[in-house]
Structure 1
Amino acid sequence: PGYCSPSADLKFTDIPNGVAALSKMPAEGWAQIGVFIAFLELFPLRQEADRAPGDAPGCGRLGVPWFFVAGRPGTVCDPTASERSLNAEINNGRLAMVAITGMVA
């Protein structure tokens, strides 16, 4: 389907499954992942002394930074609409669990 590393001529199909895949990843790939994680830890997801652990500034209720979310942070204006949406989400989750159980059985 494509190249994981074109310069190393490494295709996705050449990478084995499981733990063996860790040794096939080029060092530059691991460095890229490490630099990205370091960037997130140092800048948008930094821990401040006056906040609870994991409560980074500019993050939502689930800890997802707002720059990753399409909308802007804010409060729900209509509580009944919010309750209706939350109930619909719960019902969709229940239906998904029933569907998975039906496929397994």
Structure 2
Amino acid sequence: FDRLRYVEIKHGRIAMLAVTGHIVTTAGVRLPGDIDYHGTSFASIPVGLAGLKSIPTEGIIQIVAFIGFLELFVMKDVNGTGDFPGDFRNGGSKSWDKLSEEDKLKKRAVELNNGRAAQMGILGLMVHEMMGGSGYVINDLLGYPVN
């Protein structure tokens, strides 16, 4: 069960980052400069799944290599240091230890539920993009298109 919970928390954290990234880039926030040496600017990369097609192959390889590096060397759970699945403090951040057991359980439940909601949210954004519309359907219905 611990392995399944660890994977669920991990996917939830990734989904929360994905939803946040989607919202931020849709709002027009982009990195300055170019993504490659050919002059392709970050601002010219479309939002969402369409952006993956615009990133050069070398860029995709760099992303995959960086994620692999994090997976293999950085985001590791040191045996005996975590209190629960997904606890990557590895002896650091003593502020968690000051919380009561009830507060710890509450915060863990909040993270788990937010991660589940984010997984459904990013899936919904991808489905609506693939259907040919904006990921933010409510904006279209209210007359405030995003793009």
- TM-score normalized by the length of structure 2: 0.35
Q: Greater share of strand residues, 1 or 2?
A: 1
Structure with larger Rg: 1
More helix by share: 2
For normalisation by structure 1, the TM-score amounts to 0.45
Greater RCO (CA < 8 Å, at least 6 residues apart): 2
